[in-house]
Amino acid sequence: MDVFCDLHLHSCLSPCGDDEMTPWNLVGMAKVNGLDLIALTDHNTTRNVPEAIEAGKEYGVAVLPGIEITSKEEAHILGYFPTLEDAMAAGEEVYSCLPDIANDPSLFGNQLIKTNGDEDGGILSKLLINATSLSVDEVEQLVQKHNGIAVPAHINRGHNGMIGALGLMPFLPQFPIVEVAKGIDCPAYATKGRFQLHSSDAHRLEDIQDQVFSIPMKEITAAAAFRFLKMMCG
């Protein structure tokens, strides 16, 4: 069956995410938009993934645990994980690789952790949109160490896409899956032989995509989604 999905979403924990992008709100909007599957991919943390998974159980939307990691070259790389435990362990390691620079909410936005039905669960102090100390290769290795799949995000978008950050897209077999931003030219060599994801990178509820991208799956579960992505890695 075709499973409609959006595998790049930010919650209110990402400072660039709207405060209304709570886990329950964004999962609810995904349901309204006809999506079967989403991934929560906050910047350099996975702290709101557990709440998104709980919301998904209530709304009937599968939630794949994820993260968006910023390498020291300023390339954004998505990580998808088979279990919540893998995601949380990876998220803590990534957070430890951020510089000790505090977030200023008046400049960058709030970093809100949600728990127990979107109740206030505190904040994260380090500025999450900073680059980590990890190189692109080290990001990939960290994700794989925690049984995950590393996917370069919006490879064709400006400075924080892989092409803009590195000057080129690494060649296969590295990164067999890539995310391509809509409406922006992408060099053919960068996607040749690679499976392409098309997601919203939504930071606001109204930007979550509807039924515009799907993947073939036999069942609508996060585990099945991870197996499919793993198969696309060859």
Tell me the pairing of strands 214-216 and 2-9. Answer: antiparallel
Residues in the chain: 234
**Domains of the chain, CATH where assigned:** 2-232 (3.20.20.140)
What's 207's DSSP letter? G
Tens of pLDDT, residue by residue, the chain (234 residues): 999 999 999 999 999 999 999 999 999 999 999 999 999 999 999 999 999 999 999 999 999 999 999 999 999 999 999 999 999 999 999 999 999 999 999 999 999 999 999 999 999 999 999 999 999 999 999 999 999 999 999 999 988 999 999 999 999 999 999 999 998 999 999 999 999 999 999 999 999 999 999 999 999 999 999 999 999 998
**CB 61, CB 221: distance < 8 Å:** no
> DSSP string of 192-204?
TTSEEE----BSS
Among 2, 137, 158, 139, CA closest to 67: 139
